[in-house]
């Protein structure tokens, strides 16, 4: 069965503030396109719908924004369904004497809750960061969405500062360490947490845990194809139009402190002397889990002493005790918050090293979402599979794009190393 032509919109309904439904097949005569998107760097999902109506539906329902909408798309690979979308923006594309075309941006209801709620309390510095994240989502944001929070090894504290819930969680992301030990068993070094939403719920996870998952669990596998052949048994796992939009920029990486980072942190609570923190790539990168088969040494000794952060001064919000920073409460050594922040910055930079965009047949598989590890097989001209550029990648952005006659899924994939990992398992459906 064709994954490109088999997506069916079962429901697309916008409700007025009085609860009156306006749906496809009724007031909405034609749904022209429907795009669903999620990203590991965005806290909520988005949906953009373009539709035509014989009357100005938006005017009839007196839509001003925040109106509720429901959506259901059925496909052989799964179901995409939401009943708590909210209008975040709208525009009139074209109007004639017989029809009007509208484009409407929908977002999750939590995007509005985030702007309505603020953090005003003290978050204790002896409590694990993962516990804070759960508290913020459930008590401060008051979400009813599913939550998947990875346990953190370290604690940290802060004052609410009238921050939004999402801002507070992003502040905690770069201060978090995973509980899973590093690959050489000498410490965690698993810094660099991400916070985002998928169709399954909220995710708070470390990049290293996602990379480890690619080595321990079965993942979806896709192979480059030069033609769209829906009669082939593996057509549902074809890759069309792969394009590398980024593949190394050594000078930029040196300037931003990927290979060697020197930073000073000034604590706004203790008002003491700035604390310096220096780290180089070799100290942490080779102990972390990566999507390829390892880290290559670069010439000029770049891995050991390449470049310093151009902006070297940062405000440190670590909560203090009796006017001084107490690492006895938040952890010494590898849990030093200055070291964790520096490691996180290195990890975020390394994950932007390689960026690949691909298009695949429409796929709503539960294993395919932002933050999923996937295996891609790219062609090496006249030599079969390119073992250097192929391998495990992390889904950074995902967009399910539906039109009446065809539907595709567009992925932006990122990774921090080259080559095939020595230990990988893939979905048997792709073989």
| Residue ranges in the chain whose pLDDT is less than 70 | 1, 97, 181-188, 228-235, 270, 294, 307-311, 319-334, 421-431
Structural domain boundaries in the chain: 8-113, 120-216+249-352, 217-246+353-412
- For the record, the structure tokens of 147 come out as 């939550």
> What is the C-alpha separation between 344 and 358, in angstroms, rounded?
27
Region of residue 65 (phi > 0: left; psi between -120 and 50: alpha; otherwise: beta): left
CA 321 remoteness from chain centre? 35
Encode pLDDT of 168-226 as tens digits.
999 999 999 988 766 666 666 788 999 999 999 999 999 988 988 888 888 999 999 87
Topology of 8-113 in CATH? Thrombin, subunit H (2.40.10)
Topology of 217-246+353-412 in CATH? Elongation Factor Tu (Ef-tu); domain 3 (2.40.30)
What's the pLDDT score for residue 329? 43
What's the pLDDT score for residue 113? 96
What's the pLDDT score for residue 428? 39
Between strands 201-206 and 193-198, the pairing is antiparallel
- CB-based burial of residue 69 (10 Å sphere; 0-12 exposed, 13-18 middle, 19+ buried)? buried
Encode pLDDT of 302-322 as tens digits.
877 776 666 677 777 776 555
Burial profile 285-315: b = 16 or more Cβ within 10 angstroms, e = fewer: bebbbbbbbebeebeeebbeebbbbeeeebe
């Amino acid at each position: 069965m064709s994954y490109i032509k088999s997506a069916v919109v079962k429901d697309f309904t916008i409700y007025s503030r009085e609860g009156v439904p306006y749906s496809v097949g009724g007031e909405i005569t034609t749904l022209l396109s429907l795009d669903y998107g999620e990203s590991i760097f965005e806290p909520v999902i988005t949906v953009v719908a373009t539709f035509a109506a014989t009357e100005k539906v938006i005017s009839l329902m007196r839509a001003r924004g925040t109106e509720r909408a429901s959506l259901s798309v059925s496909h052989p690979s799964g179901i995409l369904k939401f009943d708590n979308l909210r209008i975040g923006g709208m525009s009139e594309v074209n109007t004639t004497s017989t029809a009007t075309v509208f484009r409407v941006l929908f977002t999750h209801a939590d995007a509005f809750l985030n702007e309505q709620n603020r953090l005003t309390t003290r978050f204790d510095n002896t409590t694990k960061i993962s516990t804070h994240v759960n508290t913020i989502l459930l008590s401060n944001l008051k979400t009813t969405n599913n939550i998947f929070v990875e346990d953190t090894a370290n604690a940290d504290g802060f004052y609410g500062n009238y921050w939004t819930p999402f801002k507070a969680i992003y502040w905690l992301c770069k201060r978090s360490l995973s509980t899973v030990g590093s690959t050489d068993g000498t410490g965690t070094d698993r810094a660099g947490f991400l916070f985002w939403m998928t169709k399954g719920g909220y995710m708070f996870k470390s990049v290293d845990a996602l990379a480890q998952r690619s080595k321990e669990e079965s993942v979806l596998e896709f192979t480059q194809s030069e033609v769209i052949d829906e009669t082939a048994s593996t057509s549902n796992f074809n890759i069309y139009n792969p394009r590398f939009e980024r593949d190394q920029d050594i000078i930029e990486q040196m300037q931003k402190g990927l290979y060697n980072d020197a930073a000073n942190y000034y604590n706004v609570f203790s008002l003491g002397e700035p604390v310096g923190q220096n780290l180089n790539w070799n100290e942490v990168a080779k102990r972390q889990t990566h999507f390829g088969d390892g880290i290559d040494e670069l010439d000029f000794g770049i891995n050991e002493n390449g470049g310093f952060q151009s902006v070297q001064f940062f405000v440190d919000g670590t909560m203090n005790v009796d006017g001084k920073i107490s690492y006895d409460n938040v952890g010494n050594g590898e849990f030093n918050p200055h070291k964790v922040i520096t490691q996180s910055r290195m990890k975020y930079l390394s994950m932007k090293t390689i960026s690949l965009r691909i298009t695949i047949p429409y796929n709503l598989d539960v294993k395919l979402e932002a933050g999923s590890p996937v295996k891609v097989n790219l062609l090496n001209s006249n030599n079969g599979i390119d073992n250097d550029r192929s391998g495990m990648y992390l889904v950074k952005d995902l967009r399910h794009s539906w039109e009446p006659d065809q539907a595709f899924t567009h992925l932006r994939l990122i990774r921090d190393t080259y080559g095939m990992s020595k230990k990988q398992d893939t979905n048997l459906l792709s073989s």
